[in-house]
Amino acid sequence: MRLLVTGGAGFIGSAVVRLAIARGFEVVTLDALTYCGNLENLEPVAYAPGHSFVHADLLEPAAIEAVLARHEPDVVLHLAAETHVDRSIDSPLAFVRTNVLGTANLLERLRNYWERLPAARREAFRLVHVSTDEVFGQLAADGAFDETSPYAPSSPYSASKAGADHLVRAWGRTYGLPVIVTHCSNNYGPYQYPEKLVPVVILAALEGRPIPIYGRGDNVRDWLFVEDHAEALLRVAEWGRPGETYCIGGGAETSNRAMAEQICDQLDALEPRSGRSSRELITSVADRPGHDFRYAIDPAKMREQLAWRARTSLEDGLARTVRWYLENRGWWERVRQRALDGDAVVAARDRTAAG
């Protein structure tokens, strides 16, 4: 089976690529290499037999058509997306462009490609569209999202992902394109871009800086180790049924403050701070607008129909993650420097435009 993975140089996408190559699949990684796409994430498989990389944007029709014509994938795993809620609040139209328009363009290119396939390959083709539990809005203190949960997105990010989900299902219903939608809970693990909660806590604690936590830190998330998510997506790609939706959760609900405290404890065990607890660095900051209180996923369908369950406990996953960041300081230092350089370029461009 030949896979095309969009956004394959990102955090979750690269985990899928690395696992798929280890499993013997042929993989074509497509990525626009925006701020969070990083070729270093693919270094373990960069020269592996059966792996190809294509630098392209989903809004470039000719580039997408060329990739499909040259590599002829059997399954497309669509992970390319803008994903950070805070960025979506600051720059909502960038999320509409990538998540909505980018997905629409990919769907049209895939529809044209799929319709020209021989009958047997057309029957076997799949598009797996990777979405989020955030499209469902927030939960109260109990209950969990499942495949029938209604949409109620709260942020520009989740609204743009909801729009993409609706487009994917519309192309399935109207044109017969064999599509599958997945919804995952919060991911964490190695190679995560340092703007999300887990790496933010790790790097702040390592450097002795305040660890920012929104509000009182009571917001609850269901945490999923990224390698378990990659396993689930390959399971869906191989055995999932077109037209179906699958919810993928880690079964590890924890508040943001408790998550930060666990990370601090892991760091203190591996790299003590002169007898002081890293927990002392946890600092409450003003809450962000529209901050959902709680998310949780019921993964029963994945367990019962595709024989998948998350295998990594939160304790083990955090230990592996913290250890990875300690052992890969060069990776995150280079990522942060590129971010600083990018901000400097934007600021210079803005000054030129203003002046």
Q: Rounded distance, CA 340 to CA 134, Å?
A: 29
Q: What is the DSSP string of 99-142?
A: IIIHHHHHHHHHHHHHHTS-HHHHHH-EEEEEEEGGGG----SS
Strand partners, 225: 188
Which residue blocks in the chain are alpha helix, DSSP H? 11-22, 61-71, 85-90, 92-95, 102-115, 119-124, 156-175, 197-206, 226-239, 256-270, 300-306, 314-327, 329-354
Question: Nearest CA to 77 among 185, 168, 207?
Answer: 168
Using alpha carbons only, give the angle 140, 145, 151 rounded to the nearest 5 degrees.
Answer: 90
**Burial class of residue 263, CB neighbours in 10 A (0-12, 13-18, 19+):** buried
Sign of CA dihedral 127, 131, 136, 140: positive
Strand partners, 297: 145
Dihedral of CA atoms 134, 136, 137, 141 in degrees, nearest 10, equals -100
CA distances from 207 to 74, 204, 322 (A): 46, 5, 14
Residues contacting 248, CB < 8 A, separation 6+: 182, 183, 184, 185, 224, 229, 232, 233, 297, 299, 302, 308
Q: Rounded distance, CA 334 to CA 208, Å?
A: 19
Task: Show which residues are catalytic.
Answer: 133-134, 157
**Burial class of residue 41, CB neighbours in 10 A (0-12, 13-18, 19+):** buried
SS3 of residue 330 by DSSP: helix
